[in-house]
Amino acid sequence: MKVVENISLKNLNTFGVDVNSKYFVEIYSEEELKQVLNSEEYSNQQKLILGGGSNLLFTKDFNGLVIKNSISGIKLLDEDSNKVIVETGAGVIWDELVKYCIDKNIGGIENLSYIPGTVGAAPIQNIGAYGQELEETFYELNGIYIDSCETKNFNKSGCSFSYRSSIFKNELKNKFIITSVRLELNKNPNVNLSYNPVKEEAEKRNIKHPTIKDIREIVINIRKSKLPDPVEIGNAGSFFKNPVIAKEKFKVLKKEYPDLKHFFVDEDNVKIPAAWLIEKCGWKGKRIGDAGTHEKQPLVIVNYGNASGKEIYEISTMIKIDVKTNFDISLENEVNIL
């Protein structure tokens, strides 16, 4: 374990933003993490735990210690004829876990295939896609408080999961480091076809009874056709959450815009696609210098070349202002801004 000084984070964030960190260390175990947190030398430094860097935007250099989580390992724990608990180190790549499970015909996370990043970051925003959310299979996690170095276990209710959020994105933001995650998965999996494009693609492929492997292939195919690959164009996926508005407000909007897509969250609230709002404001594929929105998916803000984090952030602010002005709806960031 070696702490290095003044390192570029360009290859450690999927926006490809070129910023420096004052200090940087990669840790491979809970013991190494505790060693770093306990060391007097860095005790006063601001700390940032970094996974794959696929859900954050650096707007300036980081004046502290970046701790890259590389705790590895996937283990099958308790199992019965139906369920199995899978424990994974927080530094494992999320999609490697999905593939590992599918290869063993263990189901429950196949719709979350190909989401970038690490397992340790997955509970932070309760990752979700194509009709599945992490919380559905989440069992518990372990981690360490940055200030006290105390270890703590969180069960599902302790995590306060909600749409792209959890206690770790709110009260415990930058205070707690997740070191391992346990999921409860199915040994006799039922496939989830609740998201129409997945169902339609299965029908198109003439698959009558899709397996979890089929679902993985379909989801990866859809994702590749819709979302820019961060290796080619820097991005962090959806920049904003889909806003939830009151039913009354939705009715007024729907009258004015009959093509408005939506779905009901509950009796009183409706979720609107942020991409639709952004496109209506003329932002689809718009570019200012090297920062802009993606031509196929305006919810994804991209770095077309050498945009700075500040330039990308400015675009996000302009989009928010336009959506607020045109629709009186406030967009909330999904991406963590630093």
Ligand X SMILES: Cc1cc2nc3c(=O)[nH]c(=O)nc-3n(C[C@H](O)[C@H](O)[C@H](O)COP(=O)(O)OP(=O)(O)OC[C@H]3O[C@@H](n4cnc5c(N)ncnc54)[C@H](O)[C@@H]3O)c2cc1C
Interaction between residue 122 and ligand X (CB under 6 A): yes
Q: Does 90 bind ligand X (CB under 6 A)?
A: yes
- Out of 227, 245, 275, 277, the only residue in the binding site for ligand X (CB under 6 A) is 227
b/e sequence 305-324, b meaning 16+ C-beta within 10 Å = eebbbebbbbbbeebbebbe
Told to check if 84 binds ligand X by CB under 6 A, we report: no
Report the residue from 48, 202, 222, 233 that binds ligand X according to the rule CB under 6 A. Answer: 48
Least distance from ligand X to the Cβ atom of residue 113, Å: 10
Q: How far is the CB of 52 from ligand X (least distance, A)?
A: 3
**DSSP E strand boundaries for the chain:** 4-8, 20-27, 46-50, 56-57, 62-69, 74-79, 83-89, 128-129, 132-133, 138-145, 151-155, 176-186, 234-238, 244-246, 263-264, 269-271, 287-288, 291-293, 300-303, 336-337
Question: Which of 19, 27, 92, 115 is close enough to bind ligand X by CB under 6 A?
Answer: 115
Note if 223 is an active site residue: no
* Structural contact between residues 87 and 189, judged by C-beta atoms closer than 8 angstroms: no
β 336-337/56-57 pair status: parallel
Give the span between the Cα atoms of 23 and 63, in whole angstroms: 8
Question: Residues 138-177: x/- map of binding to ligand X (CB under 6 A)?
Answer: ------------------------------x--------x
Question: Is residue 334 annotated as a catalytic residue, yes or no?
Answer: yes
Nearest distance in Å: CB 64, ligand X: 12
128 touches ligand X (CB under 6 A): yes
Contact 39, 62 (CB under 8 A): no
- Report the C-alpha gap between 212 and 126 in whole angstroms: 21
Structure tokens at 226: 């819709």
- Which residue number, 254 or 304, has a Cβ lying nearer to ligand X? 304
Beta carbon of residue 29, minimum distance to ligand X (angstroms, whole number): 13
Quick check: is 165 catalytic? no
Is 65 a binding residue for ligand X by CB under 6 A? The answer is no
Contact residues toward ligand X (CB under 6 A) are 14, 48-56, 69, 90, 115-118, 120-122, 124-125, 127-129, 168, 177-178, 227, 230, 235-237, 336
